[in-house]
């Protein structure tokens, strides 16, 4: 038995629109005992990701909703602190789905051991994890980048967007990033080597984006929706591809926006421009994980694929950090450091 308490962040009510601190509650539970073949995991880092907003609602989606009164789920880097499973030893660092809590129990299924000598363990939650695989598979399978084409990506300073842009550069594209604020814009064209960037907070986003996309847009990696989509849409070239992996700008919407209804206008543009608009979830391409880890690992070593982390200290600060994530307050992959 491990001594102490298990702090947990519990969902106490479903957010109506933007989540508020009142939707969450920090509680304490006993540290669970483990049974046959189980391991006890101590959370080191918790990943906060936009998809979690969807799970806080009851609406049908590609993952089931979080349960009221239960700790929220989430990817973690965890340490094995007790083990009845021969495959895992105390001290192993693993990629897990430990959730918003100090301790979790696992039967070992779905755990992946991490070697800190190969890459910092937190990368398994970002550039070498779900966000990186999302970028890699969506871009290559649906975006199908060709040298000389123009790719635009929103939330471009985030873990998915920054990987999309850099992989598109590797594939020979001209890359335009869209992000919120001058600091992020500078990061895109500086550190990450994007060809251009636009600030989605600018009231002249449409004009500014048009100015930096003189040849239109051949691939738009859609993870935002909203006003950014409105600015991108008129710039899409014939035969453009639009992988859709997220619509963060809309996650807090409580009702459909006012009219007119532009859905048939969207369909008409899909027709006349011969667009390919295709949704995907990272798990759809799980079988490409090995290719991804091989390629991304090499690109990181070669300095072609950089990443940035935004680490918040303390489990108790997870709700506020998550609320900020949906507004773009983070700068880089958002992680909560739960324990040393």
What CA–CA distance (Å, rounded) separates 155 from 330? Answer: 11
C-alpha 119/C-alpha 117 separation (Å) is: 6
Report the interhelical angle of 130-137 vs 289-301 (nearest 10°).
100
| Both structure tokens of 102 | 């100090």
The answer to whether 273 contacts a second copy (rule: CB under 8 A) is: yes
Query: Least separation, in Å, of the C-beta of 88 and a second copy?
Result: 34
By the rule CB under 8 A, 12 interacts with a second copy? no
Residue 266 as a binder of a second copy (CB under 8 A): the answer is: yes
Which of 149, 143, 182, 146 is closest to 161 using CA atoms? Answer: 143
Q: Which is nearer to a second copy, 279 or 332 (CB)?
A: 279
Beta carbons within 10 angstroms of residue 274's beta carbon = 11
- Regarding 277 and contact with a second copy (CB under 8 A), the answer is yes
Count of residues binding a second copy (CB under 8 A)? 42
Output the smallest distance, CB 259 to a second copy, in A. Answer: 2
Is 260 among the residues that bind a second copy (CB under 8 A)?
Answer: yes
Give the count of alpha carbons within 13 A of 239, CB side only: 5
State which of residues 270, 297, 311, 317 lies at the interface with a second copy (CB under 8 A).
270
Which residues in 239-258 contact a second copy (CB under 8 A)? 239, 244-247, 250, 253, 255-258
Instruction: Give min distance, CB of 186 to a second copy, in A.
Output: 30
Restricting to residues 42-71, which ones interact with a second copy according to CB under 8 A? 60-62
Q: What token pair was written down for 263? A: 């859905």
CA distance 40 to 297: 29
Strand pairing report for 276-279 and 112-113: unpaired
Stated as kind and residue range, the H or E segment containing 51 is helix 51-56
Site string for a second copy, 206-235 (x = CB under 8 A): ----------------x--xx--x------
Provide the token pair at 99: 């959730």
| Residue 265 binds to a second copy (criterion: CB under 8 A) | yes
Binding a second copy (rule: CB under 8 A), the pick from 86, 272, 287, 303 is: 272
Write out the residues near a second copy by the rule CB under 8 A. Answer: 60-62, 222, 225-226, 229, 239, 244-247, 250, 253, 255-281, 284
């Amino acid at each position: 038995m491990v001594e102490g308490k298990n702090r947990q962040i519990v969902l106490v009510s479903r957010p109506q629109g933007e989540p508020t601190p009142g939707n969450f509650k920090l509680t304490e539970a006993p540290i669970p005992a483990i049974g046959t073949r189980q391991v006890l995991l101590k959370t080191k880092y918790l990943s906060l990701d936009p998809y979690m907003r969807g799970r806080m609602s009851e609406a049908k989606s590609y993952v089931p909703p979080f349960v009221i009164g239960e700790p929220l789920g989430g990817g973690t880097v965890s340490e094995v602190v007790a083990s009845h499973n021969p495959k895992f030893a105390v001290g192993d660092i693993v990629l897990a789905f430990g959730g918003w809590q100090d301790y979790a129990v696992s039967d070992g299924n779905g755990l992946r051991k991490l070697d800190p000598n190969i890459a910092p363990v937190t990368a398994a939650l970002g550039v070498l994890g779900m966000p990186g695989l999302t970028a890699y598979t969506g871009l290559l399978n649906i975006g199908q980048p060709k040298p000389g084409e123009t790719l635009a990506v929103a939330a471009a300073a985030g873990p998915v967007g920054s990987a999309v842009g850099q992989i598109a550069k590797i594939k020979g594209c001209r890359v335009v990033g869209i992000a919120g604020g001058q600091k992020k814009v500078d990061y895109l064209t500086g550190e990450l080597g994007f060809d251009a960037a636009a600030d989605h907070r600018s009231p002249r986003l449409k004009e500014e984006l048009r100015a930096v996309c003189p040849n239109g847009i051949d691939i738009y990696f859609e993870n935002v929706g909203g006003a950014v989509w409105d600015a991108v849409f008129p710039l899409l070239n014939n035969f453009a591809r639009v992988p859709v992996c997220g619509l963060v700008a809309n996650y807090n919407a409580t009702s459909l926006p006012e009219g007119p209804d532009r859905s048939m206008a969207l369909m008409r543009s899909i027709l006349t421009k011969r667009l390919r608009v295709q949704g995907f979830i990272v798990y759809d391409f799980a079988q490409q994980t090995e290719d991804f880890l091989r390629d991304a690992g090499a690109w990181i070593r070669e300095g072609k694929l950089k990443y940035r982390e935004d680490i918040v200290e303390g489990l108790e600060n997870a709700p506020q950090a998550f609320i900020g994530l949906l507004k773009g307050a983070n700068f880089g992959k958002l992680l909560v450091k739960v324990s040393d």
